[in-house]
Amino acid sequence: MSTEVDYYELLGCERTADGATLKSAYRKLAMQYHPDRNAGCKDSEAKFKAVSEAYEVLKDPQKRAAYDRYGHAAFRQGGGGGAGPQDFGGFSDIFESVFGEFMGGRGGGRAGPRRGADLRYDMEITLDEAFHGKATEITVDVSSACAPCGGTGAKPGTSAKTCTTCAGHGKVRAQQGFFVVERACPTCHGAGQVISDPCPACHGEGRVEQTKTLSVNVPPGVDEGTRIRLTGEGEAGARGAPAGDLYIFMHVKRHPLFEREGTTLYARAPISFTTAALGGEIEIPGLDGDVRTIRIPAGIQSGRELRQRGAGMPVLQGRGFGDLVVRVEVETPTRLSAKQRELLEAFRETETGEECPESQGFFAKLKSALG
């Protein structure tokens, strides 16, 4: 149509109309002005096209929002089609102002060289080293900033120039139908600058591969999976961009005596049945170098846990220590001398059943269950 009629007026709806109302109005008008019902009527054909155009815009929430804000101007192409490195005016600017938060609008700044990648290093330590902490060195192969060009990628004495394709933005825009697509500049690959005379040492990359030796302080209390970050020790960024970080993941070897859960240490302690019956003491060497004396109460049962406060692992980056838990396992003798067997036989003759009330109660219940 030569004159622009408001889409809502064309459909006979209020601007607050919901989708169902718009759809109902469109169907009614489409049937009224459909060319099949009005053969040869140019006015009806034009009216049918107009209401169809109006409904196509208003049924789409994004198109409707653009139309509500800018009217018919929202759908005029300002720079033509195509996908070349052009800056599109008109609708592309309108669309960005409405939906820029989804597109990362033009105000987001230049792309620039990308930050270097983060790296991972796996370190294995003993439980003793996890207890005390340690200072050590590691060797990693990593890309670092090129020394001759200072990481710029340009030959010493020269400098990079602003990319003329994207005007230094690092991005170009292309309009595809209703949408504006933004992508990295094909000339500078998102850097915003081009190097006409690259550094011979790094070939314009601004970084070179090298082996680095780094000092690492492992704090007391680290556990399996603890992560230590060395800031700026990852891959160097391209052309002077910031370097990534190096993450060191800790792996703790199994200990022959202790098992660990957080700051708690667990130790298995087999004791003789006489110690279990009469009580006594056992000694366990601690990771701190001290010998821990554990008192065994008389009559202790296998599986009982004895806890000693503050004898476990140190709290990582905190104060205090966890606990040491000793799991008692009563060991039945398998080799007896004649004298020992004689003594045990004499002890059995004196048993009344009250010495082991749990087993006596179990067998009493078993007999009762069997009738």
Is 356 one of the annotated binding-site residues?
no
Name residue 6's amino acid. D
Q: Residues for the chain: how many in total?
A: 371
Is 13 one of the annotated binding-site residues?
no
Count the alpha carbons within 13 Å of 101 in the hemisphere toward its beta carbon: 1
Residue owning tokens 């905190």: 318
- Give CA angle at 175 (171, 180), nearest 5°: 65
Is 166 one of the annotated binding-site residues?
yes
Is 199 one of the annotated binding-site residues?
yes
Residues 218 and 133: their CA atoms lie apart, in Å, by 5
Confirm if 266 and 323 have CB atoms less than 8 A apart.
no
How does 167-179 read in b/e, with b if 16+ C-beta sit within 10 Å?
Answer: ebbbbbbbbeeee
Confirm if 228 and 215 have CB atoms less than 8 A apart.
no
Residues 192 and 160: their CA atoms lie apart, in Å, by 10
Residues within the annotated binding site for Zn(2+)? 146, 149, 163, 166, 185, 188, 199, 202
Residues within the annotated binding site? 146, 149, 163, 166, 185, 188, 199, 202
